[in-house]
Amino acid sequence: MTAALQEARPLVAVRGLHKHYDLRRGLRRLVDRPAQHTVRALDGVTLDIRRGETLGVIGESGCGKSTLGRTVLRLLEPTSGSVAFDGVELSTLDPAAMTVMRRHMQIIFQDPYASLNPRRTVEQIVGLGIAIHARNTAHETRERVADMLQRVGLSPAHMRRYPHQFSGGQRQRIGIARALVVKPQFVVCDEPVSALDVSIQAQILALLAELKRELGLTYLFISHDLAVVGHVSDRVAVMYLGQVVELGPARALLKSPAHPYTQALLAAVPRVEAGGGERQRLQGDVPSPLRPPSGCRFHTRCPHAMAKCSAIAPTPVMVAPGHAVACHLHEGAPA
Amino acid sequence: MSDPALLAIRGLRTWFTTRQGVVKAVDGVDLDVLPGECLGVVGESGSGKTATFLSVLGLVKPPGRIEAGQIIFGGRDLAQLPAAELRALRGRDIAITMQDALTALNPALTVGEQIVETIRAHDRGVAGPAAARARAVELLRLVGMPEPERRLGDYPHQFSGGMRQRVMITIALSCRPKLLIADEPTTALDVTIQAQVLDLIATMRRQLGMSVVLISHNLGVVAEYCDRVALMYAGQVVESGPTRAVIAAPRHPYTQGLLRSMPLLSDPDRPIRPIAGQVPDLIDLPEECRFLPRCPHAADACRHDIRLLPAGAGRWARCVRIAA
């Protein structure tokens, strides 16, 4: 978010990343003015992903967290801004070089039902990455697939089966095996446990943690579930309407959130460990990303909104070492 | 299970006959809903929580069938009631809100038409369309809908997810039911909107003096909003009791495992311990504890049909270790 948050050599460096969608179709592009028909899914995101860390991303539907994950991997082309992976600027790579680069950066999807090809066997699904990225014999490929399946808690006997023969939790294990079989350094986990029941969710979280330790992975962990993100992350970024409003060490951010939006988000989470009672509530819905509010985008729902909040967009300031927040309330705070 | 319950479910079995065999979705459920209380029903996918309350409303569709049990409400057994009488009771005395408001609402009718339809179907006291319409506006205002007069003419797709859920709650409350069954009312909603909708249900419960059954997979939601909780596993209630007591000291190994497998926002470093294995296939279940294959305390004594046993202070648990 700020210069102070940019370290010498992060694994992934995201700078001023924008992803806009033009909703005008056909001749409308000639008639309508672009500004009113552009969804700013990502609107200037700058952050580092450090080697070996889990960076959690939280926010509500439409805040741009999944778009961030996909744009970082260049599964979506950014409108502007840059993503550097291990010092290599991804936008400079031609398609062949990008394919080679993809071995190091993989993704695990939310929906274990929709993200696996129903007409391919587990061996084909998991083995495809090896076929693209390595020149192995069929025998070697099969051995690597079998080994990977065992690592994610499945059996090599599952190789000949199809996705529909597995439960949701097992399918997510297949998705993890597919991502990790090419030995990536960096994995985007896009809501990897959101579709799973609680007891299965815990199994998958434990598996992701174990694989991270064993394989030395770096995760970008996207979730709307604050308790899950708090549990897995070293640092957390909070997004609202395409922008990062707060970024800091996970424990500190969850314990003393600085941005009013983070505070409201945390207050809204129902908890088993706390008694009921009246708490701060956000009024209204998230504004449309087609017409984001002026100034600070949160000012329409913010309990602390001041006159300047609707006029001037706040720039991030440091409220503690490594803890940045974009809010006028904190301007002039000691860094 | 103390009297006098508003709704008393006894030995309910709702089975679905499929080509693969008989799916025992609900298999011996005993449950009370007390007047004015909020009961949370918690369970994972396929635990039978929705099928139980669809049975209460007579909304189980073939091949599903209520095989056994009683559903006592207002002195009558709903399991034996003729379809016409059940139809009159649905919406008037017991109302339900569905998880997905977009598919539950009719996309081709305005929200106003759908609310007015419900009011006029049940409430003979309301004279004509104008009076029903006025009542609809009043109800929408009550659930916190901005500009209710104007929004009556809008279609469901023109509302946000949170507002659609409010519309469903409006329809459910339009005849002042004694019991509201809210089936996963906030599962599709963001956390800040979820809090608004749950607060609304809690407020309406107090204002109308009704009972609420909150069906949820989220133990946190139930912990904050429900007086009592019932946990379901593989078609049976495995534990029930006052919410605070159950969460503070769960008696059934499934409840214990569920709580240990949840990450806590207030204690992110607490290790989470998953429950090993998977939910059993509901076809051809043996007559034994259904949690046995996943239970850390499994013993020979568990290989019988286990009943819900009293576990002190309004609490029940389906585990042989309670008797010991």
- The tens digit of pLDDT for each residue in A266-309 reads 999 988 886 545 566 787 778 887 888 999 999 999 999 999 99
Q: Where are the alpha helices (DSSP H) in A23-64?
A: 28-31
Model pLDDT for residues B155-179, shown as the tens digit of each residue: 999 988 888 888 999 999 888 899 9
d(CA A42, CA A18): 5
Q: Is residue A276 part of a domain?
A: no
| CATH number (domain holding residue A256) | 3.40.50.300
Which residues in chain B have their CB less than 8 angstroms from residue A274's CB? 223-224, 266
Residue A202 to residue B273, Cβ atoms within 8 A = yes
Which residues in chain B have their CB less than 8 angstroms from residue A60's CB? 190-193
Identify the CA nearest to A305 among candidates A284, A277, A279: A284
Residue A60 to residue B190, Cβ atoms within 8 A = yes
pLDDT of residue A274: 66
Identify the CA nearest to B178 among candidates B143, B222, B213: B213
Map tokens 């109800």 to a residue: B139
Is the minimum CB–CB distance between A270 and chain B shorter than 8 Å? yes
pLDDT of residue A8: 63
Number of independent structural domains in chain A: 1
Provide the residue type at B257 as one letter.
G
Residue B278 to residue A270, Cβ atoms within 8 A = no
Q: How far apart are the first and last CA of chain B?
A: 21
Give buried/exposed letters for A44-64 (b at 16+ CB in 10 A, else e).
Answer: bbbbbbeeebbbbbbbbebbb
Cβ contact B274:A203 at 8 Å: yes
Model pLDDT for residues A108-140, shown as the tens digit of each residue: 998 888 889 999 999 999 999 888 887 788 888
Which residues in chain A have their CB less than 8 angstroms from residue B163's CB? 285
pLDDT of residue A264: 93
B68: how many CB neighbours lie within 10 A of its CB?
A: 14
Residues 34-63 of A with CB under 8 A from B: 60-61
Angle at B24 between CA B86 and CA A155, to 5 degrees: 145
Q: Is residue A283 part of a domain?
A: no
Q: Is residue A282 part of a domain?
A: no
The residue among A63, A261, A272 with the most chain B CBs within 10 A of its CB, best to mutate, is: A272
What's the gap in Å between the CA of A238 and the closest CA on chain B? 14
pLDDT at A30 over 80: no
pLDDT of residue A207: 94
pLDDT at A213 over 50: yes
Q: Highest mean pLDDT range out of A179-193, B164-178, B270-284?
A: A179-193
Model pLDDT for residues A34-90, shown as the tens digit of each residue: 767 788 999 999 999 999 999 999 998 889 999 999 999 999 999 999 999 999 999
d(CA B310, CA A211): 43
d(CA A71, CA B196): 32
Which among B162, B221, B272 is the nearest to A231, CB-wise? B272
What's the gap in Å between the CA of B85 and the closest CA on chain A? 37
d(CA B14, CA B27): 6
In this structure, what is the dihedral angle of CA atoms B235, B240, B243, B244, given to the nearest 10 degrees? Answer: -130
Which residues in chain A have their CB less than 8 angstroms from residue B191's CB? 60, 224, 226, 265, 268-269
Point out the least confidently predicted range of A11-15, A67-71, B137-141. B137-141
Map tokens 């020149």 to a residue: A135
Nearest residue in A to B190, CA atom: A60
Model pLDDT for residues A313-335, shown as the tens digit of each residue: 999 999 999 999 999 999 875 54
Which residues in chain B have their CB less than 8 angstroms from residue A169's CB? 278
Identify the CA nearest to B43 among candidates B35, B51, B34: B51
Map tokens 């006997």 to a residue: A157
User: Across residues B267-295, what is the average pLDDT?
Assistant: 89
The pLDDT > 70 percentage for chain B reads 98
Is the minimum CB–CB distance between B261 and chain A shorter than 8 Å? yes
Which sign, positive or negative, has the C-alpha torsion B138, B143, B144, B150?
A: negative
Q: Is residue A255 part of a domain?
A: yes
Is the minimum CB–CB distance between A290 and chain B shorter than 8 Å? no
Residue A198 to residue B225, Cβ atoms within 8 A = no
d(CA B39, CA B233): 17
d(CA A140, CA A133): 13
Q: Name, in order, each residue with C-beta under 8 angstroms of B248's C-beta and a sequence gap of 6 or more.
A: none
d(CA B176, CA B92): 7
Is the minimum CB–CB distance between A30 and chain B shorter than 8 Å? no
Residue B220 to residue A269, Cβ atoms within 8 A = yes
Is the minimum CB–CB distance between B159 and chain A shorter than 8 Å? no
Point out the least confidently predicted range of A250-254, B8-12, B106-110, B121-125. B121-125
Residues 42-61 of B with CB under 8 A from A: 44-45
Residue B309: its H or E element: strand B309-310
Under the banding of pLDDT at 50, 70 and 90, the label for residue A225 is: very high
Q: Is residue A286 part of a domain?
A: no
Is the minimum CB–CB distance between A199 and chain B shorter than 8 Å? yes
pLDDT of residue A136: 80
Provide the residue type at B78 as one letter.
L
Is the minimum CB–CB distance between A268 and chain B shorter than 8 Å? yes
CA A290, distance to chain mean position in Å, is 22
Which residues in chain A have their CB less than 8 angstroms from residue B194's CB? 268, 270
Q: Is residue A277 part of a domain?
A: no
The single-letter DSSP state of residue B264 is B
d(CA B314, CA B324): 18
B40 forms beta bridges with B214, B229
Which residues in chain A have their CB less than 8 angstroms from residue B263's CB? 205, 227-228, 230-231
What's the gap in Å between the CA of B225 and the closest CA on chain A? 7
Q: Is residue A140 part of a domain?
A: yes
What's the gap in Å between the CA of A287 and the closest CA on chain B? 11
Which residues in chain A have their CB less than 8 angstroms from residue B261's CB? 198-199, 201-202
Q: Name, in order, each residue with C-beta under 8 angstroms of B119's C-beta and a sequence gap of 6 or more.
A: B126, B132, B135, B136, B174, B175
Map tokens 């509901």 to a residue: B282
Q: Is residue A187 part of a domain?
A: yes
pLDDT of residue A179: 95
Which among B191, B224, B261 is the nearest to A265, CB-wise? B191
Q: Cα dist. B171→A287, B96, B212, B213 in Å?
A: 26, 9, 15, 17
Query: Could you tell me the residue range of the domain that residue A102 belongs to?
Result: 3-270+291-330
Cβ contact B198:B225 at 8 Å: yes
> Whole-number mean pLDDT of chain B?
91
d(CA A211, CA A194): 19
pLDDT of residue B144: 83
Model pLDDT for residues B203-214, shown as the tens digit of each residue: 999 999 999 999
Cβ contact A121:A160 at 8 Å: yes
Residue B135's Cβ-count burial label (10 Å; 0-12, 13-18, 19+) is middle
Q: What are phi and psi of A46, to 5 degrees?
A: -125, 120
Tokens in use for A259?
Answer: 């941005």
CA B241, distance to chain mean position in Å, is 16
Map tokens 């568990």 to a residue: B302
Cβ contact B42:B219 at 8 Å: yes
d(CA A288, CA A242): 11
Which residues in chain B have their CB less than 8 angstroms from residue A56's CB? none
The single-letter DSSP state of residue B267 is B
